[in-house]
Amino acid sequence: MAEQKSYHMSPEDFRRHGREVIDWIADYHENVARYPVLSRARPGEIGDSLGDEVPEDGEDFTAILQDATERILPGMTHWQSPGFHAYFPSNASGPAILGELLSAGLGVQGMLWSTGPACTEVETRVLDMLADLLGLPEAYRSTGSGGGVIQDSASSAVLCALIAARERDSGLRTNRAGCDGTQVAYCSTQAHSSLEKAMGVAGLGRANLRQIAVNERFALDPARLAAQIKADRAGGLRPIFACATLGTTSSNAIDPIAAIGRICRDEGLWFHVDAAMSGTAAICPEHRHLHDGIEYSDSYCFNPHKWMFTNFDCSCFWVADRAALIGALSILPEYLMNEATRSGAVFDYRDWQVPLGRRFRALKLWFVLRYYGVEGLRHHIRRHIELARRLVGWIEADHHFEIVAPTPLNLVCFRHLGSDELNERIMNEINGGGKIFLTHTRLNGRFVLRLCVGQSHTEAEHVERAWELIVDAAQGIRERGM
């Protein structure tokens, strides 16, 4: 009887092609600085190159990998390029990529402790270690009343915090009967848009998000927050939640955590701190002051996938009272019941998030922490901050440019003197050249250029080149009479 074809990749072929993939990734990271940072693909171009049909017979893996080079790479905006200065970084590193590979190879679905004891316990231990490293309150450790969990993003973290606040305020009534439109939440006008989206998803209504004005440093004004809470109570509404941002997306502004925290304590609001990128800086003792007042918080998140060399997705989220979070999100059908869950001695992280399923994200984070160590992480954080400050000095010394926001860490907000149109043209010309990628924001109604120093492999030479390109582009536009 003829042997039946399995169609699976054999272990021998997996080893051979796996080496090809590792070599491909290593070559990519070695040469990524040579590619145009911003993809030059036209809409639909990449999709059209892939064809419309699944092949009837399987294809050779080497040919597939070759197509990845020829068809996929032209459609990539290269986030791992040292010339990527846009948005905030979304970093990767060798240890993180290998940890992700190992996680994919294990293929665990860690929804329950019983479906992946190591998946759960590594995550718990890593989040405890990070809480210590960041100087977070003792309550955030799993040995206290709270604990940490890895979410896919800070957007999911703030949604979970908001739902927990909603249910704490209503005594779980809104989970059963729905929202009544009287619960309100607060953030600054500079807070991330994910909070507005979360208000809609959580059923609280985007109109019930109060966006509080900021001061001259683009940080939330506590006096205005207190006044708005008072006004809302007088109007028959129920303030339940406030979010402070430690490093806003537009300008890296630092909200006054202690002042906001005291207001939340006195008014009984759930206090969430979104430190998506800038929380990483607290690994360095000289930046631990960023967390002054963190003891008032009910929840906190930061993203290792931004500035801690751990590839997307990996957002660390802590709560001071895990019972409030679990009570808001837990649903336990019979088919998920098991002895470990009944014992109450384990964490089932499905109860700490919106989806049921979850990947072994902690593995890549564990690899990064062990490979770099505390000093390795601090070295790169300090280096990026130093390079940003060096850039600030160059901008301040050039009479054509101005700094338009404080630079507490690694994001520099600046503009060329003159019109918004001039600044936008400078940005577009630079991005069209392909050597670096910048993005913009608006502060006080003005078009502002943003340059973030945070990509894993960005060094002094790359920041120097970026500034030279900016100066040259501006000079060329001035000479052409813009």
Domain positions in the chain: 99-367
Nearest 5°: phi and psi at 419?
-80, 160
Measured N-to-C along each axis, helices 460-479 and 362-397 cross at an angle, to the nearest 10 degrees, of 40
Q: What is the pLDDT of residue 56?
A: 85
CATH T-level topology, domain 99-367 = Aspartate Aminotransferase; domain 2 (3.40.640)
CA neighbours within 13 Å on the CB side: how many for 390?
16
Q: State the pLDDT at residue 346.
A: 86
What's the average pLDDT block by block, 10 residues per block, for the chain (482 residues)?
76 93 94 91 88 86 91 90 90 94 93 89 96 95 95 95 96 93 96 93 95 95 97 97 95 96 97 95 96 97 95 96 94 82 86 92 96 96 96 96 95 96 94 93 95 93 95 88 64
Specify the pLDDT at position 2: 59
Phi, psi of 277 (to 5 degrees): -100, -50
pTM beyond cutoff 0.85: yes
- Asked if residue 245 lies in contact with residue 212, where contact means CB atoms within 8 angstroms, the answer is no
CA distances from 332 to 14, 354, 426 (A): 39, 13, 56
C-alpha–C-alpha distance, residues 261 and 228, integer Å: 15
Rounded to an integer, what distance in angstroms lies between the CA atom of residue 256 and that of residue 258? 6
Give the pLDDT of residue 482: 58
In this prediction, residue 31 carries a pLDDT of 93
- Give the integer Cα–Cα distance in Å for 423 and 404: 13
Residue 333 confidence (pLDDT): 78
pLDDT of residue 135: 95
What pLDDT sits at residue 48? 86
The predicted pLDDT at position 169 comes to 95
Q: What is the pLDDT of residues 102-116, one digit of tens each?
A: 999 999 999 887 889
